[in-house]
Structure 1
Amino acid sequence: MFTALLAPRRDRLLACDLSSVAVAAAAERTAGYPGTRVRRLVLPGEWPEQEGGFDLIVLSEVLYCFGDADLERMLDLAVASLSPGGTLLAVHWRHPVAEYPLGGDEVHRALAGRGELTRLVDHREPDFLAEVYLRGRTAPSVAKAEGLV
């Protein structure tokens, strides 16, 4: 659903998932957007390349699926793939899930420890965490970045 909401707002969009069912559903929902591609990828090994980097990377409900080494590799790849000033959005469930090696709080602590990123938004609720990071050392005011002030 998120891919379908994001597709009309982007000239180019790559959505990926491990689940072929999720990929098929996203492809169907975004069929009317020629700049949108949906692929089944096994991460971190099949991390996609983008010349010039990605200006937005969304990691939603995925990072806690990885053990410590693969989590670090995912974060390395995501940070390296962000264009300068690019945005990373991470959203994760906070409650324990037996099948996941890590919890949402753990993966967000690992993300917060990345010196190449500056946290712009930190939203915490009992059920989930949502954080927005920019690649770079300083985070501009949203109003300044949009030319509003």
Structure 2
Amino acid sequence: MSTAAPPAFRDRQRDPITTIGVDIGSTNTKVALLGLFEGSPRELGIRSFRTPDAPAELGRAVLAAIHGLTSTRPRSPVAVGIASMAESGVVLDDDARPVGPLVRWTAGASAPLFDAIDANALRDLAEATGVPATPKVPLATWHRLQLE
């Protein structure tokens, strides 16, 4: 009786099912290609670059990293997962087009507005939402953007 793996299994070792993971961080963005080997994921490649301020530039850079990781693979990844800065975002117009750069939580522009909020209101907000009231919370940034 042969103990060699069947051909389909051997092919899967050379050509595993793959996925892409994208982590859009405050400072750097990472794009990783993962393969599934015998039920366990393994990193096949990673690209990292400084997170650009312009949304279009970020999109182009992520796509270029994905292309660089996958262009020599025999088949496309089956899934893409994206994680990003939770307290950051992009303001869009009515047609869902970016109207400016990434709005980052690290900018600190909401801190003065936040500091002017009544302490009791901050406590009530934290109790109601379960989220500590800080200038980093998206609500403070959205309020600032609305005022601008």
TM-score (normalizing by structure 1) = 0.26
